[in-house]
Chain A
Amino acid sequence: GESVGLHLPTLSVQEGDNSIINCAYSNSASDYFIWYKQESGKGPQFIIDIRSNMDKRQGQRVTVLLNKTVKHLSLQIAATQPGDSAVYFCAERAGGTSYGKLTFGQGTILTVHP
């Protein structure tokens, strides 16, 4: 389908603050959820993933929380740095009959001010 000109949500934070980026997903049969970071003009880069049978996973400066009851995913970035400025996408990997289908959410623009 054609795009309808939606604008991405934005989040502005000061350097050193913690950032929380949220995402709603739609498919209750998804078995993995993944966060990606995309810088301007580049392909997305993997940040962290979480399996559907977990509710929290921590990486280096990042934590992902999964709430399957309300189909909500969040990415927390600790001590945000200017280099964290980018667009952040959540993605879900389908299970079942559409196994392997990888669908992305809308995305959030994170701007970190020095």
Chain B
Amino acid sequence: DGGITQSPKYLFRKEGQNVTLSCEQNLNHDAMYWYRQDPGQGLRLIYYSQIVNDFQKGDIAEGYSVSREKKESFPLTVTSAQKNPTAFYLCASRGTGRAEAFFGQGTRLTVV
């Protein structure tokens, strides 16, 4: 089945540790996105990538990093510099010429 997969679904991190969230898609989409969602709030854009080996900062990129070495993969690293990392993280992909993005089921990150 074609789709976008985020893993793990739940992730716990100790303060001061970096952690990487996985996002893989087999939809052959060029564009991929990472969003953060806090309880009861909207989606805020962290990073996005229009094509392999290229990405741009979104509105809240501080404390996060990404890579786009392969078309199907767009991992997000939450670094120790992110002051309040506990949130629901959503990855999405979009096909060229299309408006709609398809979302994964999200990763819920908790700092303990």
Contact = CB atoms under 8 A, between A and B. Distances in A.
Contact of A43 (B38, B44, B84, B106): B106
B100 A6 contact: no
A102 interface: yes
Given A8-B42, A43-B104, A43-B106, A101 B56 contact: yes
A49 B100 contact: yes
Nearest to A49: B99
Interface in A19-37: 32, 34
Nearest to A1: B60
A102 B45 CA distance: 8
**What is the predominant secondary structure among interface residues of chain A facing chain B?**
loop
Contacts of A3: 38, 41
A31 B58 CA distance: 18
Contact of B48 (A34, A91, A100, A104): A100
Interface in A54-73: none
A42 B106 contact: yes
B81 interface: no
Interface string B5-35: 0000000000000000000000000010101
A23 B99 CA distance: 18
B38 A32 contact: no
Nearest to B102: A46
Contact of A44 (B44, B58, B59, B103): B103
Contacts of A100: 31, 48, 50, 94
Please list the 3 inter-chain residue pairs (A to B) with the smallest Cβ-Cβ separation, ordered nearest first.
Answer: A43-B103, A32-B99, A46-B100
5 contacts: A34-B100, A43-B103, A49-B100, A100-B31, A107-B42
